[in-house]
């Protein structure tokens, strides 16, 4: 047997040897190479307690660590790590690296206290791994118009692109041992989002990734499909130095705590659990409407943002959920127009023609803003916007009733994650009889809000933010 050991910098052939010895030597050599890759003259970072800072090696990723349009960092692991810093009593500094391998290098070389970058737990590395934050499944993704891939053998002659240093890459290399005809491509400094976009554009053949990154990409590229499921599951975890058990124990205790108090589940819902709600047909229709209908009404949505401060893309997402951007839409309950306003609501907002798209959009945006203002100050964003969206469907009376039910059930009435499980109870007689406003289809409000979240997320990726034009200078005014 001949083994090739690959890192970002080296590809070393190892001589034929028994499999157990080869595995041991490859693991040991990996540790040596990772250590050797670091700058020899750079001192190791001080202990996080004496430094007063937890330095985290990461990489840019749509799920774990990203920079939003306003220049602020966010993401599932980003928010968790800020909470970890509060627990440990230190600040958290994020140091982005080009890829996961270099982020892991930084921990092994003593340049970071830990690495967090959607890392699959890999016990073969000379590191300590935290308890898992979430489970992950790995898949091979292709195009729906590509060659059929019914079995693993159909991968022969195909080229699979995969991010280096990931468990998906290891699984592909295992397949390559069984099927030498499989070609493996390691793109330089390309994350899953870029790989899957290139696949959709036809410049790549196949991509190995995890199911969640595929779900994110499929919302923009419905032509993508899973063509092969890779065996086994893994856990996304944080990588820590092997010689700091106290830090590892503190991190594991923190993960246990946020799992028990629901914070882990709430952050998962905020960043990715809602993504799987739309099916391929929904996404394809939405993308077609963005091309065909949105340009006619974009100026009205942006005017609505200028008047209310609500992101125009969120207003557009609500409008799409309500009417598919059809200004003539009418329901059997009597709501009408682009934003599907009731007659009473339209009168309160000064909308005299609900079928006029501009009036409807401006009125609906103002109504959404009013609902946000009516919620208590202790409800923070983004939960505030999501609960106002559900109230757009239900009315604030039913939302207040649902929040009262949540408190009686011992649930947090300020958190959308908790309210999602309470709102469907409004249709049950044993709960509805306690409501002044009577029963309601709370489950529909949950579906509406989750769909709006998806539509808004897609629009944010495709449409730029609103930038109001600078006021023109009067004649004779100095520059």
Distance between CA atoms of residues 167 and 210, nearest Å: 9
Residue 463: band (very low, low, confident or very high) from pLDDT cuts 50, 70, 90: very high
- Classify the C-alpha dihedral 211-214-218-220 as positive or negative: positive
Q: Does residue 29 register a pLDDT over 50?
A: no
Q: Are the CB atoms for 119 and 101 separated by under 8 Å? A: no
pLDDT tens-digit series, residues 278-325: 788 889 999 999 999 999 999 999 999 999 999 999 999 999 999 999
Judged against a pLDDT cut of 90, whether residue 197 lies above it is answered with yes
**What DSSP character marks residue 329?**
-
Catalytic site positions: 322
The C-alpha atoms of residue 225 and residue 208 are separated, in whole angstroms, by 12
Question: Sorting pLDDT into bands at 50, 70 and 90, what band is 145?
Answer: confident
- Domains of the chain as residue ranges with CATH: 38-132+239-271 (3.40.190.10), 135-236 (3.40.190.10), 280-462 (1.10.530.10)
Tell me the pLDDT tens digit for each residue of 219-259: 889 899 999 999 888 899 999 999 999 999 999 999 999 99
User: Measured between alpha carbons, how far is 160 from 154 in angstroms, rounded to an integer?
Assistant: 12
* Residues making up the chain, counted from first to last: 479
The per-residue DSSP string of 196-246 comes to HHHHHTTS-SEEEEEHHHHHHHHTT-TTEEEEEEEEEEEEE--EEETT-HH
Say how far apart CA 263 and CA 205 lie, in whole Å. 39
Distance CA(366)–CA(309), nearest Å, equals 10
User: Which element (helix H / strand E) includes 23?
Assistant: helix 19-36
Q: How many CB atoms lie within 10 A of CB 43?
A: 8
Q: Which residues contact 19 (CB under 8 A, 6 or more apart)?
A: 1
Query: Is residue 37 pLDDT above 50, yes or no?
Result: no
Q: What is the CA radius of gyration of the chain?
A: 26
Main-chain dihedrals φ then ψ at residue 209, nearest 5 degrees: -155, -170
Relative to beta strand 134-143, strand 206-210 is antiparallel
Cα–Cα distance measured from residue 323 to residue 67, given in angstroms and rounded to the nearest whole number: 32
How far is Cα 115 from Cα 306, in angstroms, rounded to an integer? 41
Task: Point out which residues pair with 228 in neighbouring strands.
Answer: 140
Give me the torsion for CA of 217, 391, 288, 281, rounded to 10°: 60
Q: Is 282:340 a contact under the CB 8 Å cutoff?
A: no
Pairing label, strands 73-74, 127-129:
unpaired
């Amino acid at each position: 047997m001949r083994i090739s050991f690959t890192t970002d910098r080296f590809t070393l052939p190892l001589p034929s040897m028994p499999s157990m010895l080869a595995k041991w030597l490859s693991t040991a050599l990996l540790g040596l190479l990772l250590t050797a890759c670091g700058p020899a003259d750079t001192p190791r970072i001080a202990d996080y307690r004496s430094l007063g800072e937890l330095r985290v090696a990461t990489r840019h990723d749509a799920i774990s660590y990203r920079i939003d349009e306003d220049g602020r960092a966010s993401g599932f692991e980003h928010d968790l790590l800020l909470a970890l810093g509060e627990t440990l009593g230190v600040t958290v500094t994020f140091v982005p690296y080009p890829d996961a391998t270099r982020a892991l290098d930084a921990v092994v070389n003593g340049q970071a206290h830990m690495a967090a970058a959607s890392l699959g737990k890999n016990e073969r590395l000379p590191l300590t791994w935290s308890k898992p934050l979430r489970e992950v499944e790995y898949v091979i993704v292709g195009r729906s118009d590509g060659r059929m891939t019914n079995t693993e053998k159909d991968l022969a002659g195909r080229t699979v692109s995969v991010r280096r240093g990931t468990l998906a890459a290891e699984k592909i290399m295992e397949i390559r041992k069984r099927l030498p005809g499989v070609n493996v491509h390691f793109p330089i400094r390309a994350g899953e989002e870029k790989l899957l976009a290139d696949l959709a554009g036809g410049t790549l053949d196949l991509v190995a990734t995890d199911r969640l990154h595929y779900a994110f990409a499929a919302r923009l590229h419905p032509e993508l499909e899973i063509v092969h499921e890779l065996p086994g599951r893994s856990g996304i975890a944080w990588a820590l130095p092997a010689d700091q058990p106290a830090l590892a124990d503190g991190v594991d205790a923190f993960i246990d705590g946020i799992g028990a108090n629901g914070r882990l589940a709430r952050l998962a819902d905020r960043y990715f659990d809602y993504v799987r709600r739309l099916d391929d047909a929904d996404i394809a229709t939405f993308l077609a409407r963005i091309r065909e209908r949105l340009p006619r009404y974009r100026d009205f949505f942006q005017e609505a943002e200028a008047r209310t401060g609500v992101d125009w893309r969120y207003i557009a997402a609500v409008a799409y959920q309500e009417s598919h951007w059809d200004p003539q839409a009418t329901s059997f309950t009597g709501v009408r127009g682009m934003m599907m306003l009731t007659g009473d609501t339209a009168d309160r907002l000064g909308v005299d023609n609900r079928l006029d798209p501009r009036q409807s959009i401006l009125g609906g945006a103002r109504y959404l803003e009013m609902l946000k203002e009516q919620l208590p100050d202790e409800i923070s964003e983004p939960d505030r916007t999501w609960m106002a969206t559900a109230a757009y469907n239900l009315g604030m009376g039913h939302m207040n009733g649902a929040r009262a039910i949540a408190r009686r059930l011992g649930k947090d009435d300020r958190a959308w994650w908790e309210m999602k499980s309470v709102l469907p109870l409004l249709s049950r007689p044993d709960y509805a009889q306690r409501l002044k406003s009577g029963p309601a289809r709370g489950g529909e409000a949950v579906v509406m809000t989750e769909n709006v979240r998806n539509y808004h997320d897609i629009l944010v990726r495709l449409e730029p933010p609103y930038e109001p034009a600078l006021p023109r200078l009067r004649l004779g005014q100095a520059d």
